[in-house]
Amino acid sequence: MSERLKGKRAVITGGGRGIGRAIALAYAKEGAQCVITSRQFEDLEATAAEAPPGSVLPIACDVSEGDSVDAMAAFVHQELGGADIVVNNAGIHAAGRFIDIKPETYSLLYEVNVVGVVRVSQAFLSGMIDRQRGSIVNIASTAGLFESPGQAPYNASKHGTVGLTRCMALELASSGVTCNAICPGFVDTPMLDGFADLVGAESEELRKQLAKRTPMGRILSPDEIANLAVYLGGDESSGMTGQTMAISNGMRMS
Ligand code: NAD
């Protein structure tokens, strides 16, 4: 353990599986005290059980509901006294042809992928501003940077996450609070199984097809995203804000 996050208190949404689980375990390994949240308490308990005892506390929370976020924030303040890092990772996906996808799907994704980020960030910001330090890490997507065929609502919502990140960073810059976005490409998580279901493909076959669309010819592991989240949550990145960083196996180089 290198303890790059020693003494930090972190809240990680969607922390029970996939990328959020990997971030929570990496944060705990680096010495952070974490609270993880998602809608599925069983997943959260399983992740907490993998971490050093007491380093990861689970609480159910739906980021699309204000009361639920308020209750989660009260738990964090009671258990940890506040948060130094907020990782807005909870997210949902949708796929299909633009002509077929109902407007309601856009509202659903916007509520979680954009307004959820707003709700959770606002719940912890006043403490960060008072302390003149803090890190907000938003998990966006390469779908927030460029076109992703057959995923219009997801693409629109993740462009929202990226735009929100930049606005938050600008407004918070003078308070010492940083806000950055990670934009993953294709990551090997349960979200890809849901993607396969949506497009009527077999999960492993979809993974192979997605890998072929990347210059590196593979999909990412959640740990590769967690490594950047550790950097953005810690003091090493204290001068960086408003950035959108793609980890995408070389898709669309900048
Ligand atoms: P996942 O589906 O495996 O996990 C998502 C997590 O978010 C789950 O724990 C789920 O319970 C939680 N969640 C969803 N809606 C929620 C809500 N309303 N309130 C609270 N929690 C909620 O997905 P993942 O691949 O680990 O995705 C994590 C993040 O990374 C998402 O924001 C996703 O859009 C983004 N992302 C994923 C990929 C990928 O290829 N897997 C690529 C780019 C970006």
Q: Where are the domains of the chain?
A: 9-185+221-239, 190-219
Pull the structure tokens for residue 173. Answer: 């810059």
**How many whole angstroms separate alpha carbon 158 and alpha carbon 184?**
11
Going by CA atoms, what residue is nearest to atom 41 of ligand 1? 187
Catalytic residue among 27, 106, 110, 154: 154
Going by CA atoms, what residue is nearest to atom 44 of ligand 1? 141
Torsion angles phi and psi, residue 180, rounded to 5: -135, 160
Going by CA atoms, what residue is nearest to atom 2 of ligand 1? 191
Question: Which residue matches tokens 């219009």?
Answer: 152
**Catalytic residue status for 27:** no
Rounded to the nearest angstrom, the distance between the alpha carbon of 130 and the centre of ligand 1 is 30
Pull the structure tokens for residue 226. Answer: 């967690």
**How many whole angstroms separate alpha carbon 67 and alpha carbon 39?**
13
* Closest residue by Cα to residue 10 from 126, 137, 112: 137
Burial bucket for residue 171 (CB in 10 Å: 0-12, 13-18, 19+): exposed
How far from chain centre, in Å, is Cα 168?
Answer: 16
What is the full per-residue pLDDT of the chain (254 aa) written as tens digits? 589 999 999 999 999 999 999 999 999 999 999 999 999 999 999 999 999 999 999 999 999 999 999 999 999 999 999 999 999 999 999 999 999 999 999 999 999 999 999 999 999 999 999 999 999 999 999 999 999 889 999 999 999 999 999 999 999 999 999 999 999 999 999 999 999 999 999 999 999 999 999 999 999 999 999 999 999 999 999 999 999 999 999 998 87
| Per-residue model confidence as pLDDT tens digits over 87-97 | 999 999 999 99
Ligand 1, pocket residues at CB < 6 Å? 13-14, 16-20, 38-40, 43, 61-64, 89-93, 112, 139, 141, 184, 186-187, 189-192
Going by CA atoms, what residue is nearest to atom 33 of ligand 1? 91
Torsion angles phi and psi, residue 247, rounded to 5: -120, 105
Pull the structure tokens for residue 196. Answer: 């396969």
H or E stretch covering 27: helix 18-29
| Per-residue model confidence as pLDDT tens digits over 2-18 | 899 999 999 999 999 99
Domain boundaries 9-185+221-239, CATH class: alpha beta
Pocket test for ligand 1, best of 12, 21, 35, 38 (most atoms within 8 A of CB): 38
Question: Which residue matches tokens 């693409």?
Answer: 155
Question: Which residue matches tokens 């807005």?
Answer: 88
